[in-house]
Structure 1
Amino acid sequence: MADIIQLLPDHVANQIAAGEVVQRPSSVVKELLENAIDAQSTSIKLIVKDAGKTLIQVIDDGKGMSTTDARLSFERHATSKIRTAEDLFQLNTKGFRGEALASIAAIAHVELKTKQEQDEVGSSIIIEGSEVVEQEVVVTPVGTSISVKNLFFNIPARRNFLKSNQVELRHIIDEFHRVALAHPNITFEMYHNGSEMFQLPESNYRQRIVNIFGSKTNEKLVPVEEDTEVLKISGFVGKPQFAKKSRGEQFFFVNNRFIKSAYLNHAITSAFEGLLKDGAHASYFLNLKVNPKTIDINIHPTKTEIKFDDEQTLYAILRASVKHSLGQFNIAPVLDFERDSNLDTPYGFKDKNANSPSIEVNRNFNPFQEEKATASRTQMSYKKEVAGNWEGLYVGLESKGTKSQQDFSEIQFESDEQTVSMFQNEHAIGQQQSTFQLHNKYIISKIKSGMLVIDQHRAHQRILYEDFLKNITVKEAMSQQLLFPLALHFSPQHMTIINQIKEDLEHTGFVFANLTNESLEITGVPVSVPESEVSIILEQLINDIENEVPDSNFSATDLLTKSMSKSLAIKTGQSLTIQEQEYMVNKLFACKEPNVSPNHRPTFVTMTLDELDRKFL
């Protein structure tokens, strides 16, 4: 039998490796930024076009590479970071596998320009699909500039799996945030389609957070500091009142490397126990310093998951540190909120014994000596008072005449109402009532063949969805003006999204004023939107657009109406009156598609009398 096992060609092996390393344009951004940091750069510039599908360019002022190193950097398993297997457990650099550039070059057009400080000229290499097209000497500044063009040009199937530019750009921004937050001592710049998105100068950690997420973030931060033999913690957590519905502002850095850890996240959640509303997630920006020998980074291709030797100890220290910081800055509740310091026991009386009070008894006291005199005086004054006002007792009786008897006969006592049978009342009400609410979740409505069981949350979503869609299409939505303008603050990238959907929001009834780079004022809201829900609605809307819920095949208008209907629909557990239940039923079946919610889930089910009868067989 012939041999069937053979070695894969290099370009095929590189494409297979690219499937693990390069999942989307943000993966390329991550690898290139980390390489620039390992090159000891002080300034890094990221340039992106079409959300990275057309161009990803990273320019740094680091050490640069020689001509030989520039060529070897695109070979598989070629790295300057490690020499032996033991080095894997003493890593202080970002990259170490030597697969990133080789994988990227296998699925894109790559151009590299690099120059070391002691050299007069630099090197330029152009690679297309793992093939070196050109290599020459060029004049270039000190450092490295690498451009990745036409990602997945030779793997169209992978390119078709990419999401829209809005979603891919959000992933790139997420990676940019993770790298920039881990290194506040480096200047970062980011440009997308020629417009500046971030300009982050060298600063301290707190200022870096503020520069990324907006100036309003400064007042939300609570510092966390802890230094032990096992773990050193530094950073900030967000105040509970500023917690958000999404998990966007949650960052763990271990030895300046961003990681994801559900276990450590649970430690933060536990520290905030009792301080957050239902469904809210705390913000945190925490740096953890541990001995590199106690962690294993090489367990995941993206290196965002690592393994700790002693997770339980880290969990306990992290939870205690965050809890201490929240209490130290008067964030966590205390037992007595209005304690008066004047009532505290002075330190001078702390160890003194209390003196027993002395009791004196008058043994000659007789309580009956003046009883008669007092009683007579009381009786005399009482008689005198009644005698003087006896005529006032009969004032008004003649005017009522015979109606006094009738008035007394019409008096109804509260006890009479309580004695009426509850079953008689329920029967009378049930004859008139056509809908019932079950567990504050379902509405039961009678029909000829049986009954309908309606999910009140999904049904209201469908009603609101069609109303908003009609308002945006017709552009005649009703708006209620606010007595005082509502000021809201968002990060610059979120304000960009709001500006994109501003016109559609105005067609639903929102009225905007004074939009800036980080804030906006709302002077009017749709009639059905309470003022207290506006910020929650906009946050949910921004989150849905960033994640493109449900998917990229739907228009922005459809996405907007679905997000708003989801935020404003009545929730499970809300009690409805009979009129509200009937309105819900009538309004639902007046919709064009009453059978399903905007997310294509059933809004009601029917149960016939025959089905009920079979239950009793």
Structure 2
Amino acid sequence: MFKRIKKLDEKITNKIAAGEVIERPASVVKELVENSIDADAKAITIEIKNAGKTYIRITDDGIGIYRDDIELAFERHATSKISSDRDIYNLNSLGFRGEALASIASVSNVEIITKTKDDEFGIRAEFRNGKIVYKNEVGCPVGTTIIIKDLFYNTPVRYKFLKSDATETNYISILVNKLALSHPEISFRYIINNKNIFTTPGNKDIYSAILSIYDKEIAKNLIEIYNKKDDVKLRGYISNINYSRGNRQMQSIFVNGRYIKSKIITKAIDEAYKTLLPLNKYPACFLYLDINPNMIDVNIHPAKTEIRFHNEEFIKNFISNTIKEKLLNTNLIPTIKMEKKSAKMDNNISELDKNITVKNKDINIEKVINDISKQLVIDTTNKDFSLKKNEYIVKEDKHLSKPKEYPLSNIDTYIKKAVNIRKKEKNTVLKESNLKYDGTFFDDLVIIGQLFSTYIICEKDEKMYIIDQHVAHERILYEKYLNSYLKSDIISQILLEPIIIELNYLDKEVIFQNMNIFENLGYKIDDFGYNTVILREVPVLFGTPVAKSFFLEILEKLSNNIKNNYELKEEKIIQTACKNAIKANDSLKFIEIDKLIKELQETKNPFTCPHGRPIIISISKSEIERKFLRT
């Protein structure tokens, strides 16, 4: 029997629509707080009990709702924020769909108390299943209080799929943190199970809001940023390289006061911190982007956390370059602090002083000094260190020598220029690479010597600096190789004996779908029958032919949706720099150390290696003296 088409009744359609807007208790909090913000509130209180499943209260001191509009406010697609379709593309409010209150009322019991400045009394109303069941006058201040009870009581399937109280509370807490940060001009108070979690001052200061919500460890590692170009303004705070997390939870992005999630901005942050932080570590960022509403589209999803930029490439480069320029002009050297001695330690030392007498014969001072001197190596054979740069004589060994060059005989036959480079992509990278550290840190830096044949010891401004020679040289080689790659075309070598590679069906499809990427990287590939390809030409990277291994690496990356020539080649550059850099336990002469420091000074980022590990750390004189109990 065929089923006839029929129109669903209002009760069913409301519950279906509620599923799009109200997914969990955090969704309710988001919609109600955004309504409070749009109502010009100066103070907002969020209170939850039992993870918001049984009780949510949002109180604000905004403009309130007119008594005659209360019932209409709970109708679907009823709103005061837009009046025509043109308003959708010029939004200055957080909400505009007119779905939130109707959706919430259809899956919970709602109580609302509201008053405008023009009314003598306020109005208290109750809703059940989306319908008003009680309405009366009540004495109350100007503003609105909405209480949500028994969420999803009439949709048991939805309630069943809610997570534990701890997890749902965490979702709400993360959201409230973002909402409070989105408007530092509003004072937010957050209460969980009758316990006050935080209160922000509402003084318009972003830093004060951050300090109210998060711990001091984050706040003390933040750097303020600001930049403006055309109709786009970026402000906020980013963490230095001393602070990072294993996830992106500490990254908050706001566009025109709206908390959003943006892959474009996330990628911009990643590019800015690339090679500054270790792999799988993420910085803290609180970014506020003010932009002309006509340049964005927020009408993508009912949750309104996703937006689309009209000029995504400009936004990405603008944010990435702003962050990177600020980082490179900030002291990126980690400071090592000694552990503070405890009162118990002081007492133990005092007791030792009283009860133990050390005789001179028990300690051979000369032997101790000699042992230390063996580790701290200073080459004083050449007393005149005023050599000009082109007079440096560095021994040609495996440590500082250039990588071997591949013999380019019969160049007309075996080598050709790959002309189909993606010029636009390379120009973008070159433009971004102009950002450089100003180099002032190295002024007046005094080289002391080498420690453990691994670390270089320097001194400046009552601080001791320890430089890891391997990662320092790795940074030097990485930028040298990268610069060489960016300034030259890809060179390919014709193989006298082509390489045949057997693949599975899916890998072969990936290759031919992305053939232009392989060609731009210097490969010439032909189909060689069933699940087989043949490599006739391969790229020459830094004087060494890169054949099958690099080809398979590229294939793997493409399978993981990395489709950028620069990213693919950069990983190989990092590997090559690491392989050819000076190693730990390599003894260096003073003149070699001096040359290494000067080359490090010329790099764009002398503070971290391409993998994000620190190159330089510092210990202050006061910290050392405190360790010797001199202070």
Q: Identify the residue that residue 266 of structure 1 maps to in structure 2.
A: 267
Deviation of 1:328 after TM superposition, in Å, equals: 2.1
The CA distance in 2 between the partners of 1:255 and 1:216, in whole Å, is 28
The CA distance in 1 between the partners of 2:227 and 2:437, in whole Å, is 22
CA contact (8 A) 1:223 1:236 kept: yes
The CA distance in 2 between the partners of 1:207 and 1:264, in whole Å, is 24
Structure 1 counterpart SS, 2:442: coil
Q: Identify the residue that residue 238 of structure 1 maps to in structure 2.
A: 239
Deviation of 1:287 after TM superposition, in Å, equals: 0.3
The CA distance in 1 between the partners of 2:439 and 2:318, in whole Å, is 27
The CA distance in 1 between the partners of 2:276 and 2:3, in whole Å, is 66
CA contact (8 A) 2:240 2:332 kept: yes
| Cα 1:330–1:118 shift into 2, 3 Å | same
Structure 2 counterpart SS, 1:330: coil
The CA distance in 2 between the partners of 1:271 and 1:334, in whole Å, is 14
The CA distance in 1 between the partners of 2:294 and 2:442, in whole Å, is 49
Q: Identify the residue that residue 119 of structure 2 maps to in structure 1.
A: 119
Amino acid at match of 1:109: N
Mapping for residues 530-609 of structure 1, pairs under 5 Å: none
The CA distance in 1 between the partners of 2:118 and 2:439, in whole Å, is 68
Q: Identify the residue that residue 199 of structure 2 maps to in structure 1.
A: 199
CA contact (8 A) 1:39 1:62 kept: yes
CA contact (8 A) 2:201 2:208 kept: no
The CA distance in 1 between the partners of 2:438 and 2:96, in whole Å, is 52
CA contact (8 A) 1:60 1:145 kept: yes
CA contact (8 A) 2:190 2:198 kept: yes
Mapping for residues 193-592 of structure 1, pairs under 5 Å: 193-203=193-203, 204-331=205-332, 334=437, 339-341=442-444
CA deviation map 1:185-232 (0-9, x unaligned): 111111111111111121300111111112232211011100111410
Deviation of 1:337 after TM superposition, in Å, equals: 8.1
CA deviation map 1:37-58 (0-9, x unaligned): 1111111111101010010010
CA contact (8 A) 1:41 1:60 kept: yes
Deviation of 1:135 after TM superposition, in Å, equals: 1.5
Mapping for residues 40-51 of structure 1, pairs under 5 Å: 40-51=40-51
Amino acid at match of 2:72: L
CA contact (8 A) 2:182 2:257 kept: yes
Q: Identify the residue that residue 435 of structure 1 maps to in structure 2.
A: none
Structure 2 counterpart SS, 1:316: helix
| Cα 1:8–1:223 shift into 2, 3 Å | same
CA deviation map 1:588-609 (0-9, x unaligned): xxxxxxxxxxxxxxxxxxxxxx
Amino acid at match of 1:87: D
The CA distance in 2 between the partners of 1:215 and 1:146, in whole Å, is 33
Query: Structure with the greater relative contact order (CA < 8 A, sep ≥ 6): 1 or 2?
Result: 2
CA deviation map 1:438-478 (0-9, x unaligned): xxxxxxxxxxxxxxxxxxxxxxxxxxxxxxxxxxxxxxxxx
Structure 2 counterpart SS, 1:31: helix
CA deviation map 1:505-545 (0-9, x unaligned): xxxxxxxxxxxxxxxxxxxxxxxxxxxxxxxxxxxxxxxxx
* Structure 1 position 70 matched with structure 2 position 70: yes
Amino acid at match of 1:339: F
Amino acid at match of 1:340: D
Q: Identify the residue that residue 186 of structure 2 maps to in structure 1.
A: 186
Return 8-17 or 107-116, whichever deviates more: 8-17
CA deviation map 1:295-333 (0-9, x unaligned): 110101111000110000001111110011112223389
CA contact (8 A) 1:268 1:319 kept: yes
Structure 2 counterpart SS, 1:242: coil
Q: Identify the residue that residue 135 of structure 2 maps to in structure 1.
A: 135
Q: Identify the residue that residue 156 of structure 2 maps to in structure 1.
A: 156
The CA distance in 2 between the partners of 1:182 and 1:89, in whole Å, is 21
Query: Normalising by structure 2, what TM-score?
Result: 0.53
* Structure 1 position 106 matched with structure 2 position 209: no
Structure 2 counterpart SS, 1:227: strand
CA contact (8 A) 1:210 1:216 kept: no
Structure 1 counterpart SS, 2:224: strand
Deviation of 1:336 after TM superposition, in Å, equals: 6.2
Deviation of 1:334 after TM superposition, in Å, equals: 4.9
Q: Identify the residue that residue 171 of structure 1 maps to in structure 2.
A: 171
CA deviation map 1:394-452 (0-9, x unaligned): xxxxxxxxxxxxxxxxxxxxxxxxxxxxxxxxxxxxxxxxxxxxxxxxxxxxxxxxxxx
CA contact (8 A) 1:112 1:144 kept: yes
Structure 1 counterpart SS, 2:56: strand
Amino acid at match of 1:259: I
The CA distance in 2 between the partners of 1:290 and 1:335, in whole Å, is 31
After TM superposition, the runs of 4+ consecutive aligned structure 1 residues lying more than 6 A away are 335-338
CA contact (8 A) 2:55 2:150 kept: yes
Unpaired stretches in structure 2, ≥5 consecutive residues: 334-435, 447-631
The CA distance in 1 between the partners of 2:86 and 2:33, in whole Å, is 25
The CA distance in 1 between the partners of 2:177 and 2:298, in whole Å, is 20
The CA distance in 2 between the partners of 1:82 and 1:303, in whole Å, is 15
CA deviation map 1:87-122 (0-9, x unaligned): 001111111000000000000000011011121111
Deviation of 1:6 after TM superposition, in Å, equals: 2.7
Task: Please provide the CA RMSD for this pair.
Answer: 1.9
The number of equivalent residue pairs is 343
Structure 2 counterpart SS, 1:252: strand
CA deviation map 1:68-93 (0-9, x unaligned): 11111100000000000000011111
The CA distance in 1 between the partners of 2:316 and 2:276, in whole Å, is 19
CA contact (8 A) 2:218 2:243 kept: no
* Structure 1 position 32 matched with structure 2 position 32: yes
CA contact (8 A) 1:231 1:290 kept: yes
Amino acid at match of 2:213: I
The CA distance in 2 between the partners of 1:218 and 1:244, in whole Å, is 14
The CA distance in 1 between the partners of 2:289 and 2:154, in whole Å, is 41
The CA distance in 2 between the partners of 1:341 and 1:2, in whole Å, is 89
Identity of matched residues, %: 39
Amino acid at match of 1:308: F
| Rg comparison, structure with higher value | 1
CA deviation map 1:155-197 (0-9, x unaligned): 0010010000100001101110111001111111111111111
Structure 2 counterpart SS, 1:241: coil
CA contact (8 A) 2:296 2:308 kept: yes
The CA distance in 1 between the partners of 2:443 and 2:15, in whole Å, is 71
CA contact (8 A) 2:296 2:309 kept: yes
| Cα 1:338–1:22 shift into 2, 3 Å | closer
Unpaired stretches in structure 1, ≥5 consecutive residues: 344-617
The CA distance in 1 between the partners of 2:224 and 2:22, in whole Å, is 36
The CA distance in 2 between the partners of 1:197 and 1:342, in whole Å, is 47
| Cα 1:139–1:335 shift into 2, 3 Å | closer
| Cα 1:129–1:335 shift into 2, 3 Å | same
Q: Identify the residue that residue 92 of structure 2 maps to in structure 1.
A: 92
| Cα 1:44–1:291 shift into 2, 3 Å | same
Deviation of 1:293 after TM superposition, in Å, equals: 0.6
Q: Identify the residue that residue 144 of structure 1 maps to in structure 2.
A: 144
Structure 2 counterpart SS, 1:37: helix
CA deviation map 1:529-572 (0-9, x unaligned): xxxxxxxxxxxxxxxxxxxxxxxxxxxxxxxxxxxxxxxxxxxx
CA contact (8 A) 2:200 2:208 kept: no
The CA distance in 2 between the partners of 1:83 and 1:336, in whole Å, is 56
CA contact (8 A) 1:44 1:187 kept: yes
Amino acid at match of 2:78: A
Structure 2 counterpart SS, 1:93: coil
CA contact (8 A) 2:127 2:133 kept: yes
CA contact (8 A) 2:329 2:438 kept: no
CA contact (8 A) 2:125 2:136 kept: yes
Return 144-153 or 134-143, whichever deviates more: 134-143
CA contact (8 A) 1:271 1:319 kept: yes
| Cα 1:48–1:280 shift into 2, 3 Å | same
The CA distance in 1 between the partners of 2:68 and 2:4, in whole Å, is 37
